[in-house]
Amino acid sequence: MIKSILINFIGIFNSRILGFIRDLLSASILGANIYSDIFFVAFKLPNLFRRIFAEGAFTQSFLPSFAKAKYKPSFAFSIFKYIFTIILILSMIVTLFSYQITDILAYGFNDEAKKLASPLVAINFWYLDLIFIVTFLASLLQYKKHFATTAFSTALLNISLITALVLSMHKSKEEIILYMSIGVIVGGAAQVIAHVIAAKKYGILKLLYIGAKSRKKADISTFKKHFLPSVFGNSTAHISAFLDTWLATFLSAGSISYLYYANRLFQLPFALFAIAISTVLFPKITKAISLEKFDEASENMKKAFWYLLYLLILAFIFAVINSKEIVKLLFERGAFTHKDTIETSYVLIMYMIGLIPFGLNKLFSSYLYATHRHLKSAKFSAISLGVNIIFSLILIYPMKVLGLALASSIGGIILFILTLKEYGFSEFLKFFEKKYVFIFFAVVLISILISIAFKYLFYLL
């Protein structure tokens, strides 16, 4: 398990570093203004679906059903055809009605900004079609115990966007965000190519070809039953961020950008640790539970929990203590001012409050999916989202953009409590053996000392 986690960690880390280079260039060239807000709105919807699909929603429904399917080629191809047809139709609708969709996504924008954003919304949405192909092939590669291609190919989107920014940096801001939108599509196509190459190597393309030629009708009813609950259950943090963006269109210019950059920093430890660990854990506990090896599944959960908790605590303390320094180091240059740094750092702290609950929920929700409790997870997500919406509306007036980020974290706390209750508090308490508790406090102390040392080192430099 450690080897697979490390592969995922390194691949995701590589992508996130390139992502920060991309954000550094974007902040420097575009700054935090109406133009950056327009691009982030245009990219928000396909990026929301990308995160939901790529971070487990599809795999958690598809793999258990695929493993039990009597005729796997026909089943796999039927699923691909079913989902891809829906997404293709949806993309056409968004293209035809891009202004109306933009009016919903950016309700607070003025008419001029909406007109500028609508063609970019249409362009960016086609990324969803490409990322579904990637996610589908990635799930089959995961079944073959191959994680590297998916982990490392995520960097291709960032490379494409970096290239678009470099090529357009001396052009007008309208042209820059157009180049970036085209870069999104090019990056998605590059990810598809990488996965097609890997799929051919592992015999997946041959399997799909056989399924396409087969006359056997596959039963995909179980997949359909679990898919939508899985999507909703995995989407709380991302829908929260999407909701933040929509509400921020009613706030001053730059608010969307503050949320975007802060959420990008929040997503780094979440992806590196929570997603990397849960991605590797899910197929292991699914297999153990299907074989009724419940003790083995519980032991894997315990190990994963402590690995993840230590890493999340370290990330939380480090980010909160050094929020201004992190934002300044990464983004404060060019059009991104010191005022933007201060605002983004405060938003980051509000988001980081939810890091540990959101991260641990990712782990425990994997157990719910492995035990086919998709509807329960979806119910908890709905409650969490409802709490988030209520607190967003309450806090947006007194706290502005900070209130939106804090509401997201409050929703994450509620989600984790509900998921943990379903998992079983008594089972959870078994994780806390004396040696683990001692190590836990040691890690917290070391994390605080490292964070304080980094803060003072930054001032000395």
In single-letter form, the type of residue at position 384 comes to S
Token reading at 393:
């509306």
d(Cα 432, Cα 45) in Å, to the nearest integer? Answer: 40
| pLDDT band of 410, cuts 50, 70, 90 | very high
| pLDDT band of 395, cuts 50, 70, 90 | very high
Sign of the Cα torsion 357, 359, 364, 370 reads positive
Whether residue 461 has pLDDT greater than 60:
no
Please tell me what DSSP assigns to residue 235.
-
d(Cα 54, Cα 76) in Å, to the nearest integer? Answer: 17
In single-letter form, the type of residue at position 440 comes to F
Q: What is the pTM of this model?
A: 0.71
Would you state the torsion angle of the CA atoms of residues 80, 85, 88, 94, taken in this order, to the nearest 10 degrees? Answer: -130
Place of tokens 């988030």: 388
Give tens-digit pLDDT for 119-138. 888 998 999 899 999 989 98
pLDDT of res. 439: 65
Please tell me what DSSP assigns to residue 271.
I
d(Cα 71, Cα 67) in Å, to the nearest integer? Answer: 10
Any idea where the domains of the chain sit in the sequence? 33-220, 235-461
| pLDDT band of 93, cuts 50, 70, 90 | very high
What totals of helices (H) and strands (E) does the chain contain, helices first?
23, 0
| pLDDT band of 167, cuts 50, 70, 90 | very high
CA 77 to chain centre: 26
pLDDT of res. 142: 80
Answer for the pair 369, 360: CB distance below 8 angstroms, yes or no: no
Answer for the pair 41, 249: CB distance below 8 angstroms, yes or no: yes
Maximum CA extent, the chain: 71
